Amino acid sequence: MAGQTPEPLPQALTQMIESERAFAARALVIGWKQAFLEYFAPDAMGFSEGQVGLARDQIAKNPDPPSDLQLIWEPRFGDMAGSGDLGYLNEPVRNVRASRDGGRPRYYNYTSVWKRQRDGSFKVVMDVGINTPGPVSFAPGFTRAPQTNRFTGDYDDTTPPLGTADGLLNAELRRDQARAYRPNLTPSARLHRPNVMPIVGDKRILQWLASQPAFTSADTRFSEAARSGDLGYTWGTYTTKARGKAEGGFYVRTWARERNGQWKLALDVLQPQ
């Protein structure tokens, strides 16, 4: 209804957003490498040169960034589990270097998964993104993923766990992408693919996927759900082949659980290696 006051964000979601903003501000002061080392959890995983490993170890091995390089970002979309222990954020990123391309930015769209630590703080446990042809637009301010039909714990206990849901999707992706994703998307789902602007909404996603080839392989490597069982994330490996060219890498997915216990995709990212 016009003029309605937006529902206030849960405290845990606000804390996660503020942690992301502090992270972004810190990166402008000490550089992205040191800021990443500060804000990533010790057990955060990363993907580098086709290998999976502890993200902080991978980051530490990177050379120090040039002094004139800035990564500028702001959390604009995401969600938090009802238990307040696990959530994700989506943010447009500008990579700016005064001595490169006349100072013109390069654009990215990143997704970060955050987990509450024993001391009560939030740290990044997964961070994955895509390059985009231009700046990614979002609604003003921060938007929480729609919360209709949210899982509350009252469901048929024969519903498959998150890892099984991810594996079933992967099996179908070896046949047909659009067919595989169709029953698994939330209405507001986001599909992130390299060199493509984010595709938002189940209908637009299915239209785009209709022209995409089936995966030649897709395998679940990890899954984790919040204590409340209403939100989680998975990651794994994939390969595709289009126009005679093979491509492989990693995927990361965030999932929301509906009241009937079914897991649905909120966000899906491919990161080629």
DSSP string, 131-150: EESSPPP--SS-EEPP-TTB
At residue 240, does pLDDT exceed 50?
A: yes
Give the model's pLDDT for residue 42: 98
At residue 1, does pLDDT exceed 50?
A: no
Give percent of the chain above pLDDT 70: 95
Give the model's pLDDT for residue 152: 84
Mean pLDDT over the full length of the chain: 93
Give the model's pLDDT for residue 69: 92
Give the model's pLDDT for residue 56: 97
At residue 187, does pLDDT exceed 90?
A: yes
Mean pLDDT over residues 157-162, rounded?
A: 72
Mean pLDDT over residues 138-163, rounded?
A: 82
Give the model's pLDDT for residue 49: 87
Give the model's pLDDT for residue 6: 66
Residue 114: strand pairing partners? 87, 124
At residue 84, does pLDDT exceed 60?
A: yes
Give the model's pLDDT for residue 183: 97
Mean pLDDT over residues 59-67, rounded?
A: 92
Helices (H), 44-132: 55-61
Q: How far apart are CA 143 and CA 97, in angstroms?
A: 29
Phi and psi based region of residue 125 (left: phi greater than 0; alpha: psi -120 to 50; beta: remaining)? alpha
Q: What is the pLDDT of residues 91-146, one digit of tens each?
A: 999 999 988 888 899 999 999 999 999 999 999 999 999 999 999 999 999 999 99
**pLDDT tier at 147, thresholds 50, 70, 90:** confident
Ranking 65-69, 154-158, 166-170, 248-252 by mean pLDDT, the lowest is 154-158
Give the model's pLDDT for residue 136: 97
Q: What is the pLDDT of residues 173-186, one digit of tens each?
A: 999 999 999 999 99
Give the model's pLDDT for residue 197: 98
Hey, which bits of the chain come out as E strands?
45-48, 51-54, 69-73, 77-80, 86-97, 106-116, 122-132, 143-144, 185-192, 199-200, 215-225, 231-242, 245-257, 263-272
